[in-house]
Amino acid sequence: MAVAKTDTTLMRPLRYSDERHLEAHQFLVDESYILDSQRYDEWLTLLTDDIQYNLPVRVTTARGAGFDTAKGMSHFDEDKYSLSMRVARFATEHAWTEDPPSRLRHYITNVRTFNTDNESELFVQSAVLLFRSRGDNREPYLVSALREDILRLQDEGLKLARRLVLVDESVVRMQNLAIFL
């Protein structure tokens, strides 16, 4: 799946006092709590059926080269089915990458909310800093990233319809990526 760069200069930011911005921000905070608590079945209920979850491989290029992701290469390029299979695997003895389970903390900041052409959707940018530790004698990991989300208003409330995660390093230094950003 090709990753399109979003041109936020064409979007009108909502004011921070806007109720939709506050709802989007609260959604991200609640989602982070659910992920940190590793309540992944509950997290799946926050996703639309047509979710696109993408974490492209970052590359370092010369200034002005016009790209900073490897075309067609992603650490994750998933839909609802593949995300559900990953969550189901966590409940089996085959999830050795999460045995012992990671201790996670998602820090969400710099939340910006934009209108889209679809009145039921919001474009939301946020910065995430993930702290992850495993076991007693391993060094903890930090991952910093920009997230670009589409949140869609449905009968049950806001749901995540798209997530593009752009990590701030070209080399992800964790032993594995068995977590969700």
Q: Please state the domain extents for the chain.
A: 11-167
SS3 state of residue 21: helix
CATH code 3.10.450.50 for 11-167 = yes
* In the chain, beta strands by DSSP E: 47-58, 69-78, 103-115, 121-133, 141-154, 157-167
pLDDT tens-place values along the chain, 181 residues long: 344 444 544 556 665 558 899 999 999 999 999 999 999 999 999 999 999 999 998 777 655 555 566 667 667 889 999 999 989 988 877 765 666 778 899 999 999 999 989 999 999 999 999 998 876 667 888 999 999 999 999 999 999 999 999 988 877 677 667 788 8
Q: Rounded CA gap, 9 and 71, in Å? A: 23
The CA–CA distances, whole Å, from 163 to 50, 136, 152 equal: 11, 32, 12
